[in-house]
Chains A and B, each alone.
Chain A
Amino acid sequence: AQSVTQLDSQVPVFEEAPVELRCNYSSSVSVYLFWYVQYPNQGLQLLLKYLSGSTLVKGINGFEAEFNKSQTSFHLRKPSVHISDTAEYFCAVTQNSGTYKYIFGTGTRLKVLA
């Protein structure tokens, strides 16, 4: 079984500062990893995904994440945040076979301050 841990429930950061949102996972099999963003009262928007290949993944809106198999991490980063990045961010994992169920982390609320 897989699990996902997002240790930071809230991350406040000033506008134009860099940010890192942490995600750790556990799994006994190979996995796919995802980061989603959710704005209030909206569905999920995919930021980026790791399926295979390069461990540095670039996504939309200037976000990137690095898959680190030895540390079982998939941290999300952005070098300079904007007010509009204020939202809830979810990390998700799924095994790359079988039912393809997603397991979501508990989410990190990114609040960008002016």
Chain B
Amino acid sequence: GAVVSQHPSRVICKSGTSVKIECRSLDFQATTMFWYRQFPKQSLMLMATSNEGSKATYEQGVEKDKFLINHASLTLSTLTVTSAHPEDSSFYICSARGRRWGDEQYFGPGTRLTVT
């Protein structure tokens, strides 16, 4: 149980375009989802926390207009990188937490975004 998927696993887009990344909890209801960003050889940095049906809470320094997060249902959250630029290239990882599983987060496999 407690499986989280992400789609796509890899995406390449041109500078100036937008790209959407999906995060799904496959076998549980995710009351809270988290989005992280990881630069090469670095740790995970929390970008935002989203609760189903409410607006995401962004960490300091994260542009909410650039990284749009939608948590429309208890099993799906999306991260849209708007007007992407090469500096947005990174590994994006989501995680989900559900009441059934207590306080633990379950991580997706990550999405590699490359902006050319």
A100 touches B97 (CB 8 A): yes
Contact A32/B112 with A101-B49, A106-B43 known, Cβ cut-off 8 Å: no
Residues of B with C-beta under 8 A to A63: none
CA distance A90 to B97 in the complex (A): 19
Contacting pair B93 A44 (CB below 8 A): yes
Q: Indicate if the CB atoms of A106 and B42 lie closer than 8 Å.
A: yes
What total of chain A residues lie within 8 Å of the partner, measured CB to CB? 21
Chain A residues near B95: list those with CB within 8 A.
Answer: 102
Contact A43 B49 (CB under 8 A): no
User: A residues near B, CB below 8 A?
Assistant: 32, 34, 36, 41-44, 46, 49, 51, 90, 94, 96, 99-102, 104-107
The reply to whether B110 and A42 form a contact with Cβ atoms under 8 Å apart is: yes
User: Is the contact region of chain B dominated by helix, strand, or loop, or is it mixed?
Assistant: strand
The interface residues of chain A lying within 8 Å CB-to-CB of B43 are 90, 104-107
B103 touches A100 (CB 8 A): yes
Q: Do residues B105 and A100 form an inter-chain contact, with CB atoms below 8 A?
A: yes
Known: A43-B110, A104-B44. A49 touches B49 (CB 8 A): no
Task: Name the residue of chain B whose CB is nearest to the CB of A99.
Answer: B49
| Cα–Cα, bound, A32→B110 (Å) | 23
Show 29 A/B contacts (Cβ-Cβ < 8 Å), sorted by A.
A32-B103, A32-B104, A34-B104, A41-B110, A41-B112, A42-B110, A43-B6, A43-B93, A43-B108, A43-B110, A44-B44, A44-B93, A49-B104, A51-B102, A51-B104, A90-B44, A96-B103, A99-B49, A100-B103, A100-B105, A101-B34, A102-B44, A102-B46, A104-B44, A105-B43, A106-B42, A106-B43, A107-B42, A107-B43
